[in-house]
Structure 1
């Protein structure tokens, strides 16, 4: 693919003298706002002649920029200049840059190279270069490759010093430094950044850190505020606003001539696909359809695909995503760079139905099949005005529920189930108690019945329901009660195990219609602070008209199963009796 950088849109300005910038015998003779090739050559040469790749398949080889890195990011970002009346010379046109692309496309190495150039290659005295992310650990993912590049370059290693305790690289010759800072705007006032690099904008709660740094650049002749990110999962957030603005600038650069935007997102709608082909006519790497499984649509959001990004790894992730909603959302967001909701439906109903086992005609039929067997219990109590769920999980994968609700709730839930909720109650799948509030004595009676019917090893309950419920059940049954909650930490293990078991068809829910309704309503959330972490999930309870109580109850019961059977006493293990 060929590039003509002189055809890029720029403000029509003839201000200023002839540029005259010279590098290796090449002099720029242009004037006004223009693309200065020797300036761009300088940065490209800095990468190729001084830096090596810090990791991966290209580790320890010269950092020769890939074509897309060179011509679509580095050359326009550093080569576009305009005349500054204030400084009486040509300066970079772009003071702000936003790069939006999928993960694992070499952004950390690219950012590290830019940071080193801005530290000691840009000709700025007392340059302050900062890297930040949601956490020091995340920001360190840019700093660490930077440190490795410095140490592996004889010239840079001789010139720069790494101050390990401060996570700082210092250039004594110019009085400049590069360091990692926390994402705490209150403590980051007073800086005068020549360059500020913000990694993973989607993890920032607001624009306070960005603005704190931006307002400190006024004394610099050609500062650079650079943000790089993957698409966010939150529609209304600082990250979404940031990315949307870059999209607008890409479509209309006149909107903000100082803002460089490199945005690579796989389209989600026909309109987005049409827009992409309109903005980049004739590009061979453009998506050809909206089919996320088509490998022909992966290259646009993954420009490194086939070089230092493995095609096979994407194939494997795409295959996993076919039967797993959480994996699908992760693939769409982090691999195809699409915006997905932070809250998403979690269980595919075809997967749920594959785990029916025998279809039970009524709840009593199930009890007759499992009587006397060991199991674990899970209890999710609602307020007195809503549904409460109890679930038993058996080692063979059987799941058995009880549901209770006040009579007054039935008409409300009928509206959201096409009248089925009352039918489920008539068929015995839900127990309705008289009045407007739930009758806890009925719940205690039914759980006590199950205690005599099955061998319940322990029962895990949501601590929200409080101590009185635990005391009442313990007094009636002498069951071991284990406290839990629906936080990411407590929900992740049983939910992960549940999804694994669903895929392996290890469960039997006997076609419980109430549980199926709740499984279809179930949504999961994932933390947004660090995309590299395993995405824990927990039930979302904030959808009016939808109920999911049976699912947390099942996860509590499965959590008991993960703890395993109690250790037998010496009398049991040796066949002795008291």
Structure 2
């Protein structure tokens, strides 16, 4: 049905007066293995023979000739398997010809020696997720002006090149579908958009959402096979990222890694009675983020054998619970004392202040680390009440060594937090991302609804601990060793 929807829109919308097609461009983005090549292979043979265009030139285009030949070879296969088509098309190694109208189908690439002199009727750009510039796209689009109803198709899965043409077209498609007025209506009416992807708030572990990115599920793809693949690659961050990218159609980066694998998180679900910590030395941290979203605070206690105990708490306004995009056990987390749901549209920072004051009655808080963003009021009030605070800038120079060190502690099973489910959720949401080619990895959240506020508060506390204890790890140390461990 999804193929019928695409083709019905591309070819079914015509002008009443001119009888020419409405759409001149089509952006088609679906997960891997859903039959994109088969679909547009049919478009190519139709454009060369039955589209009412004499001398039609159809080109399959890609970054490499090998990639371009995938759809070209699909055209050849469709023709050779049909007695009817075989009678009308002449197939050679490098071209498919429909002599009746002097039309042709060819595969071209950016490395083709001569792209001039073309008169494009249909251009099919295969896997534009690999493109890093508009050189080939602009050249081909410029060659369509002499045609009455040219069509350019962009066929792809989402990719890892987040600063190339695909990201621009993806955003353009979103603007068109959501009618944001970012593009003139006249231009928007000429672009057909079909994007099959999981939603931003969807959890990749939820197989119920996989159909969104895989419209051929149950036909060309089988759910049990995909589940087997997911379970196999899930513990390996790089392969997990690739599955989410290719099969669930989510932009990822080759420079992104999950911070911790699920088994590592589980390994740290150890227990220690809170009564044993009364009067113990600890270091604090908090992450205020947006007041209308999650806010978190944390205490980190150095223990023997290089272990650390983590005591964490979060606050969230009631509307977040009502929206429930995060799909958390809100009532259970409140009962466990991990979360406070605020009956207000935002979290008042005085709640964080009061929490630290309550904790200071039980434990010796040496100092508190904090992200200076949005923290002016709370910092002033904490200092006024006698707390010692230090800024934790959210950059490579400050965070690289603490991030490396705390990950090593997790890998060694040295973090104790009394099976804090909310903290585990935060940890599972953290991914490591490079902000530049030569940059080191820094933490960020995987999707909009996958919050990391509790981890950010913990990282501030751990940074403060390392400062005060003059750890031997250099501030500019990169986390290459930890990354090499594969997040396990």
Partner of 1:113: 42
In structure 1, how many angstroms separate the alpha carbons of the residues matched to 2:196 and 2:403? 46
CA contact (8 A) 2:23 2:189 kept: yes
In structure 2, how many angstroms separate the alpha carbons of the residues matched to 1:92 and 1:417? 55
Deviations 1:434-475 (A, max 9, x none): xxxxxxxxxxxxxxxxxxxxxxxxxxxxxxxxxxxxxxxxxx
User: Match for 1:79 among 8, 12, 21?
Assistant: 12
Partner of 2:243: 331
- Tell me if 1:202 matches 2:129: yes
Q: CA deviation at 1:295?
A: 2.2
Q: CA deviation at 1:524?
A: 8.6
- Tell me if 1:228 matches 2:155: yes
User: Match for 2:72 among 134, 139, 143?
Assistant: 143
Q: CA deviation at 1:150?
A: 0.5
CA contact (8 A) 1:414 1:421 kept: no
3-state secondary structure, aligned to 1:82: coil
Alignment of 1:158-177 (within 5 A): 158-164=87-93, 166=94, 168-177=95-104
In structure 2, how many angstroms separate the alpha carbons of the residues matched to 1:522 and 1:259? 34
In structure 2, how many angstroms separate the alpha carbons of the residues matched to 1:422 and 1:316? 34
Q: 1:422 and 1:234, CA in 2 relative to 1: closer, same or farther beyond 3 A? A: closer
* Aligned Cα root-mean-square deviation (Å): 3.8
CA contact (8 A) 1:96 1:260 kept: yes
Q: 1:546 and 1:320, CA in 2 relative to 1: closer, same or farther beyond 3 A? A: farther
Alignment of 1:270-289 (within 5 A): none
User: Match for 1:154 among 58, 76, 83?
Assistant: 83
CA contact (8 A) 2:124 2:152 kept: yes
Q: CA deviation at 1:326?
A: 1.7
Equivalent pairs counted in the alignment come to 309
In structure 1, how many angstroms separate the alpha carbons of the residues matched to 2:405 and 2:27? 54
Partner of 1:264: 196
3-state secondary structure, aligned to 2:15: strand
3-state secondary structure, aligned to 2:31: coil
Deviations 1:154-194 (A, max 9, x none): 12111111111x2x101111111101001248832321110
Alignment of 1:392-407 (within 5 A): none
CA contact (8 A) 2:30 2:213 kept: yes
Q: CA deviation at 1:328?
A: 2.2
Q: Which runs of 4+ in 1 moved over 6 A?
A: 353-356, 417-423, 508-511, 552-555
- Tell me if 1:102 matches 2:31: yes
Alignment of 1:13-162 (within 5 A): 67-70=1-4, 72-82=5-15, 89-162=18-91
Deviations 1:413-437 (A, max 9, x none): 99437889999xxxxx9xxxxxxxx
CA contact (8 A) 2:237 2:261 kept: no
In structure 1, how many angstroms separate the alpha carbons of the residues matched to 2:56 and 2:24? 15
Q: 1:175 and 1:419, CA in 2 relative to 1: closer, same or farther beyond 3 A? A: closer
Partner of 1:432: none
Q: CA deviation at 1:68?
A: 1.9
Partner of 2:255: 343
- Tell me if 1:320 matches 2:232: yes
In structure 1, how many angstroms separate the alpha carbons of the residues matched to 2:62 and 2:108? 8
Deviations 1:551-572 (A, max 9, x none): 58989xxxxxxxxxxxxxxxxx
In structure 2, how many angstroms separate the alpha carbons of the residues matched to 1:202 and 1:331? 15
Partner of 1:10: none
Q: CA deviation at 1:302?
A: 0.9
In structure 1, how many angstroms separate the alpha carbons of the residues matched to 2:39 and 2:56? 19
Q: Which structure has the higher relative contact order (CA within 8 Å, separation 6+)?
A: 2
Deviations 1:328-361 (A, max 9, x none): 21222111111223321256266558999xxx96
Q: 1:554 and 1:192, CA in 2 relative to 1: closer, same or farther beyond 3 A? A: same
Q: CA deviation at 1:127?
A: 0.6
In structure 1, how many angstroms separate the alpha carbons of the residues matched to 2:147 and 2:480? 57
Q: 1:263 and 1:291, CA in 2 relative to 1: closer, same or farther beyond 3 A? A: same
In structure 1, how many angstroms separate the alpha carbons of the residues matched to 2:396 and 2:244? 34
Q: Which consecutive residues of structure 2, in runs of 5 or more, have no partner in the other structure? A: 180-184, 269-303, 307-394, 415-429, 443-475
Q: CA deviation at 1:239?
A: 1.4
In structure 1, how many angstroms separate the alpha carbons of the residues matched to 2:167 and 2:236? 25
In structure 1, how many angstroms separate the alpha carbons of the residues matched to 2:155 and 2:404? 49
In structure 2, how many angstroms separate the alpha carbons of the residues matched to 1:151 and 1:298? 34
Alignment of 1:446-465 (within 5 A): none
Q: TM-score, normalised by structure 1?
A: 0.48
Q: TM-score, normalised by structure 2?
A: 0.56
Alignment of 1:479-558 (within 5 A): 542-543=440-441, 545=476, 547-550=478-481
Q: CA deviation at 1:510?
A: 10
Partner of 1:180: 107
Alignment of 1:420-431 (within 5 A): none
In structure 2, how many angstroms separate the alpha carbons of the residues matched to 1:325 and 1:421? 17
Q: CA deviation at 1:243?
A: 1.5
Q: 1:319 and 1:510, CA in 2 relative to 1: closer, same or farther beyond 3 A? A: closer
Deviations 1:20-48 (A, max 9, x none): xxxxxxxxxxxxxxxxxxxxxxxxxxxxx
CA contact (8 A) 1:524 1:540 kept: no
Q: 1:418 and 1:140, CA in 2 relative to 1: closer, same or farther beyond 3 A? A: closer
Q: 1:415 and 1:128, CA in 2 relative to 1: closer, same or farther beyond 3 A? A: closer
3-state secondary structure, aligned to 1:124: coil
User: Match for 2:139 among 208, 212, 218?
Assistant: 212
